Every structure is written in structure tokens, then in C-alpha cells.
Amino acid sequence: MKSIFKISGMTCNGCKLSVEDKLSSLDGVDKAYVDLTKGEAIVHSKNPISFSLISNSLPPKYKVTRTANSQNNETIKVSKIKQLKPLFIILAYISITSLLLNFKNWDSTNAMLDFMGLFYIIFSFFKILDIKGFSISFRMYDPLAKKVPFYGIVYPFIEILLGIMFLTRIEVQLAIILTIIVLGITTIGVTQTLLNKKSISCACLGTTLKLPMTEATFIENALMIIMAFVLLT
């Protein structure tokens, strides 16, 4: 990732080298280069570098100002959180409902079964709103959907079936095993996408709510898989 910062007060090659050295030594910075003619510092990093970090790292004689590029990079994390807000709200609703359903006669097993059942039913609803669009988006990262496109079409209905099985306590062991297999396959694709730093949409809530593929998708799937393994024991 490249961020550009305007820096005034640099008058010679010594200033250039000094600024480059200070910026390059910052945590998270892979490389920093100063264009003395333009009065700019080009910072390369894996994650967004904040304006305050750059400004505070340099002596007072250097004045750092934002550029459009640096502002965009700085707001990437904020915009992702805003985009993921619907996902967090839905997960919160599912969690609270699962707790309330088992509040009087608390049973952690039943609470997890209710959570998993509600998770599948609610998430499948958003997928069914645009099955074709979902299947295309799902195919971008799910290994099985890539090889068998029809799998993306039937996937929402698999979720509905699993949701009903968990909520009605019908063939729970089978539902748990299928959860580990189905979400395990998807999680492999999610992991590969994140490691390759591909910028694609997450199909977990269909195409109606356009969510970015982030670590939240991995955590969401991992949570379901962990609960499935716990219920198996």
C-alpha cells in the first residue's frame, strides 16, 4: 500500500535523507522515499499509515499535510467497519435472541443450537433475495462453488435445511457434521482470499448488503465451526 504525504521545510539532500531514515524506521513502514522536488514523502506499508504517526515522527521544522491519497488510505479501516455494521448488528441480534430463549432454564448446548439455527435461517434469507447474484459472488472464493456452479444455487437452501434441523433438534449430529464440512470448505476459500489480499465482496449476506471480504468473514465461519466441534464432544 502506498501513501503520499506533503512535507514542507526540506531544503537539501541532508533533509531528504533524514526524513527518509525517520519514516523508514516507523513500525509498519516497509519503505519510505522522499521526492525533494515535489516535497512529498511516499510511504509503502502493508496497512494504512496514519497522518498523526507521520507528523509526530518528524522534527517541528517539518510540516506534514495530508494529500487525497493519504486521506483515502487512512479511512480504509473506518469505511470497512461501516460496511460491516449490518453484519455486526445481525450477529448481535442472533446472540441476544439465543440468550433470551434459554435465559430461564440456561443450557449452553441449547443456546449454541439456537444460535446456529438462527444464523443459518437469517443468513439464508438474504442470499435467497438474489440467488443468482449470490451464486456468482460465492463462486469468487468458495472452492466447491468454483468447480460446481450449481452448488452456489442450492447453498442457501442447504442453510435453510440446516437451520431447521438445529432449531427443531432433528438429526442434530448430522447437521453438526454438515456444518463442519460446508463451512470448512468455505473457510478455506476465505482464508486463501485474505492471504492473497484479493479485494472482493463477501457473499455471506447475499448481494443486497454489499459487504467486503475481511477477517470478520473468517471469524464468523470459524465461530460456527468451533461451536460445531464443541457440540460433537
Residue 162 CB burial class (10 angstroms; 0-12, 13-18, ≥19): buried
3-state class of 57 per DSSP? helix
d(Cα 233, Cα 177) in Å, to the nearest integer? 12
pLDDT digits (tens, 9 = 90+) for 217-232: 899 999 999 999 999 8
Q: How far apart are CA 78 and CA 94, in angstroms?
A: 24
Domain residue spans of the chain? 2-74, 78-232
- pLDDT, tens digit, 9 for 90 and up, residues 134-156: 998 899 899 999 999 999 999 99
Confidence band, pLDDT 50/70/90 cuts, at residue 113: very high
**CA 172, CA 129: separation in Å to the nearest integer?**
27
SS3 126: helix
Average pLDDT, the chain: 87
Higher local confidence (pLDDT), 2 or 95 = 95
DSSP SS3 for 35: strand
| Amino acid in the structure at residue 52 | S
pLDDT band (50, 70, 90) for residue 69:
low
Take residue 187 and report the three cell numbers written for it. Answer: 473457510
d(CA 222, CA 220): 6
pLDDT digits (tens, 9 = 90+) for 159-212: 999 999 999 999 999 999 999 999 999 999 999 988 887 777 788 888 877 787
pTM of full prediction above 0.75? no
Pick the CATH number of 2-74 from 3.30.70.100, 3.90.1170.50, 3.40.50.1110, 3.90.850.10: 3.30.70.100
Q: Where are the alpha helices (DSSP H) in the chain?
A: 13-24, 51-57, 68-74, 76-83, 85-101, 108-128, 131-138, 143-147, 150-168, 172-195, 215-232
CA Rg, the chain, in Å?
A: 24
87, three cell numbers: 453484519
Of 54, 33, 41, 49, residue with least CA distance to 7: 41
Does 70 score more than 60 pLDDT?
A: no
